[in-house]
Amino acid sequence: MASRRILKELRDLQRDPPTSCSAGPVAQDMFHWQATIIGPNDSPYAGGVFQVTIHFPPDYPFKPPKVAFRTKVFHPNINNNGNICLDILKDQWSPALTISKVLLSICSLLTDPNPDDPLVPEIAHMHKTDRVKYESMARSWTQKYAMC
């Protein structure tokens, strides 16, 4: 079941890729993908190229994929290990969701962080109390870690 579903999602992604994202298997391992997300223009991550890993569980799509940033990013919902605090990757997962929708949700999270459900409370506090400093730090990290 999982293999057929993953293959279908890969074909759908190749036929109709989401804006500013790409994804596909690493080597021949259909359960381990690499994705690339281009930082949204209307965010402090603009111009950045962010590498993301996707691991599908054997019981996908009944369980969510494990998705993590490999590129360092200054964000209240993404920690130093690249873990992402996103409801659809946890308790709001549904088998109706796809990797394409997950990638679009991550892009949306880059544009609109959720400081009320942070993985990094210090960054969330900065986002709430000093937006200029937060955006400056996010831009600085993007230039340092996500630009060639």
Burial of residue 46 (number of CB atoms within 10 Å: 0-12, 13-18, 19+)? middle
Buried/exposed code over 88-108 (b: 16+ C-beta within 10 A; e: otherwise): ebeeebeeebbbbebbbbbbe
Which residue in this structure is represented by tokens 């054997």? 58
For the chain, the first-to-last Cα distance in angstroms comes to: 39
Distance CA(75)–CA(38), nearest Å, equals 15
95 upstream amide cis, omega within 30 of 0: no
Instruction: Copy the structure tokens of residue 106.
Output: 């991550």
Catalytic residue from among 21, 85, 107, 148: 85
Question: Is 85 noted as a catalytic residue in this protein?
Answer: yes
Annotated active-site positions, please?
A: 85
